[in-house]
Structure 1
Amino acid sequence: MATEPEPQGPARRPIGPPAQGGRRSGPRATTLASGRVSVPAVLPAPAHQPNRSGDSTPEWLEPAMAANGIGSFEWDIRRDLIEADQRAAAIIGAGESNLSIGSEAFLALLHPEDAPVVRRRVERAVAELGQCGAYYRTVLPDGTLHAVRFRGRVLADAFGRPSRMVGFVWDATAELHKRADAGRLARLREDRSRFIKEAARALSEAVTVRDVARVFTELPLPGLPPDGLILAAYETGRLQILGASGYAAEDVGPYDRAPLESHQPSAEAIRSRLPVFLASRAEYQERYPQAWTRASVTGRSAWAFLPLVASGRAIGLCVVSFDEARELDADERTLLSTLGGLVAQSLARARLHDAEHELAAGLQRVMLPRTVPAVSGVTTAVRYLPAGSGLQIGGDWYDVVPLPGGHVGLVIGDVQGHDVHAAGIMGQLRIALRAYAAEGHPPAAVMARASRFLADLDTDHFATCTYAEVNVDYGVVYAVRAGHLDPVVRRADGSSAVQNVVGGLPLGISADQEYQVTRFSLDPGETVVLCTDGLVESRAMDLDTGMSRLCASVAGELEPVGGGDPIEALADRITSRAADSAEREDDIALLLLRWDGPEGGLAAQQLRRRIGQADLARVAELRGELRDALRRWGVAELIDTAELLTSELVTNAIRHTDRDAMFTARLYREDRREPRLRIEVEDESDLWPKRRTPGEQASSGRGLMLVEALADGWGVEPRGTGKRMWFELTAGEAA
């Protein structure tokens, strides 16, 4: 119940009963049903009667009160008697004649919520010899409520004590309705202002066109909840429906991507760039008769067609519709027009974002491998996550390269920068590095040539990279690192650890940079994880913490979803723990390779390697590979002899010829016979080795003597161009 504010004044003085000896210590208290309380009620004493102080009512006041429907009252505080004239009695619903009633009887006429308010204000006025007023509701005999307003003032007797209250009362129904309407309109304006702010915030956060459509179709318009919403983009004379709510698919389907005809209200809104409001079905049919047949089946009765204008060009249309006929007032039309402007700006920004994102995604798809080749003996999984800002394109890449001899090369790299230029350099570098690897060059040579290639491009960009050649026959990895992250290895028992690889300068820093190779082995089922720094480093996370989190993600049990390969589940788990796309500052490339090992769990029984001319470092690598192979093949007792004789044959081939040599080792397991190892070294020289007896001071010439002395058999065979030298060892005889 609306009430007037209580008057401010000095603290209330207590009103009590008369003091002993007939003297009173304060005004006389009024006796009520609840006890002696210093308050009674509010209302009338005929205003035309002379007051107690001898004044009389002016003759002009009575006609003025009658003309305005104002009644008068007087309350005798000592006798607790309220007297009201006929108009006052009618206003409070107490009959059509003058009223004479006690305060408690009067309070009983009021609404239970309003009686305490009136009591409190009258008490205060009596205590302070002041005035008071309030709105209150009276309960009529038929149970209906009636709004009343009163205004009264307390008068004192000759001794300064409260004697009576006189005042006016009038019907406040219309006044309260007006105040209620004003309050409702104020709340509605506040709701609309809040709605515009929330809509602007939501639309500003919408990134894609789909986001804009979702936000628009979920907006709760204040004061005019629509029954249907449609958002459409306009391009090349057609409307494309982006989102709709409150419509069946068959209602909006005919309009999607259909030519916009001139007789439609949507065409007029786009052409004029002004909203079109239709308040009823009859108005729609009258203004657009040709379009009415199709629109009538939707069941709507009022529409607002809002053109979306950005940079002076119509880019779309909003349709707001209602089931009932509705004439929108000026405030509602302004609200809808403002909403259309917000949606237009958001849609224009989102379309630009989608176009840039599609361009970047297409360029990235072209730069990265479309498919990863399948290589027998290993299983791979790759992932690429764009950055969360800008063009969402960068210089990170991965590649899997099949190599001669059935081996496989793994590449992970990151070109400096996050723009189209970096992506272009990445594409050139990826192709060059792939070509070098496919030619059969060893890992160190592949990396050195790639660095020289990038330096020769003169782009002022550098790149970090890790290249690893995996011997699929027995799971040995030869890794080279150029300023990149170390790989992480997941062991067969589910544990994980960082595999340290000797590092060199990033690619493109120096054209003469040389790189060292780090060799490590895998057991069947173990996985190598290569990634770029976007996965493990950000402003909020240092590199050490990121690598620790990566190791934790790689380790643990794997639960494939839908019967897929566990390595795919591992890749998903790693990427799911990366930063959210909206917060990611860098793009991410991820490459996983699991060495499955040969069938039956036994290593392949053959090893083939090409040895570059005068590449003595390659000879040392070959000896290490041979040791691992013989150990995996289960003939470790042949390692020392085989390694010594292999060094002699390979060194002889690359020393006395001007071409590369091909090394082949095979282990033959024949029924009921001991395993037999055959090692062959092929070259393209027609010069045959000669067995001779060197003197005591000679520094060479003992190679064939060692072969003849230690091998179970040896020989030289012609190959058409060049020759093949071989020797054989038997495992049982060696033992």
Structure 2
Amino acid sequence: MATEPEPQGPARLPLGPQAQGGRRAGARSAGVAAGRLAATAAVPGVQSMQSVQGGGQGVQGVQSLPSRTGDSTPDWLEPAMAANGIGSFDWDIRRDLIEADHRACAITGITGTTFELNSEAFLALLHPEDAPVVRRRVERAVAELGQCGAYYRTLFPGGELHAVRFRGRVLADAFGRPSRMVGFVWDATAELHKRADAGRRAALREDRSRFIKEAARALSEAVTVRDVARVFTELPLPGLPPDGLVLAALEAGRLQILGASGYRREAVAPYDRMPLEPFQPAAEAIRRRQPVFVASREEYQERFPEAWPRAKDTGRSAWAFLPLVASGRAIGLCVVSFDDARELDADERTLLSTLGGLVAQSLARARLHDAEHELAAGLQRVMLPRTVPAVPGVTTAVRYLPAGSGLQIGGDWYDVVPLPGGHVGLVIGDVQGHDVHAAGIMGQLRIALRAYAAEGHPPAAVMARASRFLADLDTDHFATCTYAEVNVDYGVVYAVRAGHLDPVVRRADGRSTVQSVVGGLPLGIGTAQEYQVTRFSLDPGETVVLCTDGLVESREMDLDTGMARLCESVAGELPTRGQDGTDPIEELADRIAARAADSAEREDDIALLLLRWDGPEGGLAAQQLRRRIGQADLARVSELRGELRDALRRWGVPELIDTAELLASELVTNAIRHTDRDAMFTARLYREDGREPRLRIEVEDESDLWPKRRTPGEQASSGRGLMLVEALADAWGVEPRGSGKRMWFELSAGEVA
């Protein structure tokens, strides 16, 4: 309670007798001149003159002080003290006796004109919390021969609690020892309440200032309209906690409720998308672009009688309608309501108006963000294939993750293209840039590349034509891309890479490896670029993973680290098909996507494409290889030899590779050279219980000209093909067909393990 700090020096009292030229002398006049300070100073801890001075009843040369009376105040000072309600007191430290005039008695709550109390009796009159404070301050003043003062509370006989303020000074005798304390006392109840009210108002202003800062920060961090609604409905308004909050957006003359708190859902639902009628307070606030405050139900009924029938059922008694104005245009409304009638003061109205301005700016920014995001998402949905076609023998999974900042649209894309002959084409690519222009180029390039692939062009031709197409667009953009044609019957992949990432292959045993593919320049760099094809094979259950660089590269992660993380994500065990029918490849796609950076941190969008080769029904693909060799496609013969080597290695008969490759090459070359049609190559491995595995290779053509076994001379450059077949094969032959013929040979492997 005692909140006033003690002064550091002696008080100046120009009205005291010493200021009048020393009219009164002696200790009595000196006490009056220095004293009459403030509040009734109880003397704690000092029991008597003996305890302060160390003994003795009198001091030689010190005039004894007569008892004080109610009329002892000089005539020239009394009117001033009476007009200001100030009483005086005198505490004789030697005798431990406090005397006061009639005004001090009234202020302290003691009946009578004067009173005489010792220090302990006086302290007993004070509030228990204030007595120790007064005691300490008086003790220090006595010890230092200084002055002191404080507020304290005292209880009047009628039970009323009053606040009193005192100011006193300790006087010394001729030997410099404390002799008495004199001072003033006055009622400080109103003063203390005023100070308390000022303190509360200052604290409230500080709370409101802090609230505005925190609200501004929270609203600035709100990205979407939903975020703004959540922040607004959770704001703790200082000093005026509302009972209801509603945030609504103005759309085509209707109010769309974005968020509400303090209301039941069914109470708010009728107002959602309600037309804004001119007689409503919300309409007046939006029309005038000024807040509308309604302090009571009676005022609402008087000012808005047509709107009152609907408002009276809400149970509220006071409202504040705050228009949300951004860039000079009303975009919504905030409603703050109270259960009890309430007249908001100027500070409260200013706080709510400021809050409305903050919400308006945040809502405008969030609506723009949502509109841009919806535009980007819609454009991306149009550019990317809606569904991935189902192709028998393979299972695919795709993911697209937009960047975490900006327009959230870019040039990354994926595609799955069914091809003639039951094959399937896989496309993954990334157009340079991260904007709408890049997305538009991506859409054109995706359609062109899909068309080239669907026409049946081989992978190298598809990529070369796509590069020329992009160069002809003259967009100053390039694109990276990987195109892979998968033979669904045999699990062979023909891949072409244009400046893009190598694919990752998940093997049947759970291992993962980066499959090296010969690379070429990105698309659009030149019109005469040629691309090489890399062939690799899959066993049933193995998966090819294609992705864009956003998954494996960022400012915090280099490409090598990213590819290692990708291989780690692809490898390992996968769950079996769940009860809900979820395919394990979907689980794998989710696992890979989960390793990508958080959406708020990701710098680039990500396209992800997975294909698992399941193989034909019955698993025959593991023992059969079938290829068509074009009449003019001599390079296909070399590819066929590589495929045959891979197939025999997978089938577990590597000892047959050299012989089978040599003889197959002879039969295929013979068919192409001596006919004018395509040739069909077929390799099958037969396994029978208790017998050695048997490889049968057949080459069919449409020529009726049968091969003739010749005996070439020593210098002849041809004519030894059938001789090699006869010498190395376990059996061989030629069979007629409806049109053309079939040449074949068989090789036997070692004992079955």
Is TM > 0.5 for Structure 1 vs Structure 2? Answer: yes
SS in 1 for 2:330: strand
Q: Sort the Cα spacing of 1:404 and 1:46 in 2 relative to 1 into closer, same or farther, 3 A.
A: farther
Q: Which region of structure 1 is more displaced relative to structure 2, 466-475 or 329-338?
A: 466-475
Q: Which region of structure 1 is more displaced relative to structure 2, 128-137 or 391-400?
A: 128-137
Q: Which amino acid aligns with 1:629?
A: A
Question: Is it true that 1:726 corresponds to 2:743 in the alignment?
Answer: yes
Write the mapping of 1:639-654 to structure 2, written as runs, cut at 5 A: 639-654=657-672
Q: 2:473 aligns with which of 430, 433, 457?
A: 457
The CA distance in 2 between the partners of 1:366 and 1:38, in whole Å, is 101
Q: For residue 541 of structure 1, report the CA deviation from its aligned partner.
A: 1.9
1:698 match: 716
The CA distance in 2 between the partners of 1:497 and 1:507, in whole Å, is 26
SS in 2 for 1:603: helix
Contact 1:455 1:511 in 2 (8 A): yes
Question: Is it true that 1:367 corresponds to 2:383 in the alignment?
Answer: yes
The CA distance in 2 between the partners of 1:119 and 1:138, in whole Å, is 15
The CA distance in 2 between the partners of 1:133 and 1:31, in whole Å, is 17
2:179 match: 163
Q: Sort the Cα spacing of 1:573 and 1:701 in 2 relative to 1 into closer, same or farther, 3 A.
A: same
The CA distance in 2 between the partners of 1:204 and 1:282, in whole Å, is 38
1:377 match: 393
1:421 match: 437
Q: For residue 672 of structure 1, report the CA deviation from its aligned partner.
A: 10
The CA distance in 2 between the partners of 1:683 and 1:270, in whole Å, is 84
1:20 match: none
The RMSD of aligned alpha carbons is 3.2
1:106 match: 122
Question: Is it true that 1:146 corresponds to 2:169 in the alignment?
Answer: no
Question: Is it true that 1:394 corresponds to 2:413 in the alignment?
Answer: no
Q: For residue 545 of structure 1, report the CA deviation from its aligned partner.
A: 2.3
1:212 match: 228
Q: For residue 602 of structure 1, report the CA deviation from its aligned partner.
A: 5.4
Write the mapping of 1:620-699 to structure 2, written as runs, cut at 5 A: 620-633=638-651, 639-655=657-673, 661-666=679-684, 679-681=697-699, 693-699=711-717
Contact 1:71 1:88 in 2 (8 A): yes
Contact 1:29 1:37 in 2 (8 A): no
Q: Deviations over 1:373-426 (max 9, x none)?
A: 223333222111101111100111112223344333322211110011111111
The CA distance in 2 between the partners of 1:38 and 1:499, in whole Å, is 103
Q: Which region of structure 1 is more displaced relative to structure 2, 168-177 or 659-668?
A: 659-668
Contact 1:377 1:595 in 2 (8 A): yes
The CA distance in 2 between the partners of 1:29 and 1:316, in whole Å, is 66
1:42 match: none
Contact 2:2 2:134 in 1 (8 A): no
Q: Sort the Cα spacing of 1:667 and 1:96 in 2 relative to 1 into closer, same or farther, 3 A.
A: same
Q: 2:556 aligns with which of 540, 551, 563?
A: 540
SS in 2 for 1:297: helix
Q: For residue 432 of structure 1, report the CA deviation from its aligned partner.
A: 2.4
2:734 match: 714
The CA distance in 2 between the partners of 1:147 and 1:60, in whole Å, is 28
The CA distance in 2 between the partners of 1:144 and 1:559, in whole Å, is 79
1:250 match: 266
Q: For residue 221 of structure 1, report the CA deviation from its aligned partner.
A: 1.1
Q: For residue 730 of structure 1, report the CA deviation from its aligned partner.
A: 6.3
Q: Sort the Cα spacing of 1:635 and 1:441 in 2 relative to 1 into closer, same or farther, 3 A.
A: farther
Q: Which amino acid aligns with 1:579?
A: A
SS in 2 for 1:289: coil
Write the mapping of 1:285-304 to structure 2, written as runs, cut at 5 A: 285-304=301-320
Q: For residue 367 of structure 1, report the CA deviation from its aligned partner.
A: 1.1
Q: For residue 666 of structure 1, report the CA deviation from its aligned partner.
A: 4.7
2:237 match: 221
Q: Which region of structure 1 is more displaced relative to structure 2, 156-165 or 233-242?
A: 156-165
Q: Sort the Cα spacing of 1:684 and 1:457 in 2 relative to 1 into closer, same or farther, 3 A.
A: farther
Q: For residue 448 of structure 1, report the CA deviation from its aligned partner.
A: 2.8
The CA distance in 1 between the partners of 2:474 and 2:676, in whole Å, is 34
1:4 match: 4
Q: Deviations over 1:555-598 (max 9, x none)?
A: 33445776522222222222222211111111011122233345
Q: Sort the Cα spacing of 1:724 and 1:309 in 2 relative to 1 into closer, same or farther, 3 A.
A: farther
Task: Give the TM-score of the pair, scaled to structure 2.
Answer: 0.85
Q: Sort the Cα spacing of 1:29 and 1:716 in 2 relative to 1 into closer, same or farther, 3 A.
A: closer
Contact 1:233 1:315 in 2 (8 A): yes
Q: For residue 657 of structure 1, report the CA deviation from its aligned partner.
A: 5.8
Write the mapping of 1:280-679 to structure 2, written as runs, cut at 5 A: 280-559=296-575, 563=580, 564-598=582-616, 603-633=621-651, 639-655=657-673, 661-666=679-684, 679=697
Q: Sort the Cα spacing of 1:421 and 1:152 in 2 relative to 1 into closer, same or farther, 3 A.
A: same
Contact 2:52 2:178 in 1 (8 A): no
Task: Give the TM-score of the pair, scaled to structure 1.
Answer: 0.87
Q: Show structure 1 runs of 5+ residues with no match.
A: 11-27, 40-44, 51-56
Q: Which region of structure 1 is more displaced relative to structure 2, 521-530 or 130-139?
A: 521-530
Q: Sort the Cα spacing of 1:332 and 1:534 in 2 relative to 1 into closer, same or farther, 3 A.
A: same
Q: Sort the Cα spacing of 1:638 and 1:718 in 2 relative to 1 into closer, same or farther, 3 A.
A: farther
The CA distance in 1 between the partners of 2:326 and 2:434, in whole Å, is 30
1:71 match: 87
Q: For residue 605 of structure 1, report the CA deviation from its aligned partner.
A: 4.6
The CA distance in 2 between the partners of 1:202 and 1:442, in whole Å, is 57
Q: Sort the Cα spacing of 1:685 and 1:310 in 2 relative to 1 into closer, same or farther, 3 A.
A: farther
Q: Sort the Cα spacing of 1:686 and 1:713 in 2 relative to 1 into closer, same or farther, 3 A.
A: closer
Q: Sort the Cα spacing of 1:38 and 1:366 in 2 relative to 1 into closer, same or farther, 3 A.
A: farther
Q: Which region of structure 1 is more displaced relative to structure 2, 542-551 or 209-218?
A: 542-551
The CA distance in 1 between the partners of 2:53 and 2:477, in whole Å, is 93
Q: For residue 684 of structure 1, report the CA deviation from its aligned partner.
A: 6.8
SS in 1 for 2:307: helix
2:64 match: none
Q: For residue 681 of structure 1, report the CA deviation from its aligned partner.
A: 4.4
Q: Sort the Cα spacing of 1:517 and 1:5 in 2 relative to 1 into closer, same or farther, 3 A.
A: same
The CA distance in 2 between the partners of 1:37 and 1:407, in whole Å, is 113
Q: Show structure 2 runs of 5+ residues with no match.
A: 11-42, 55-66
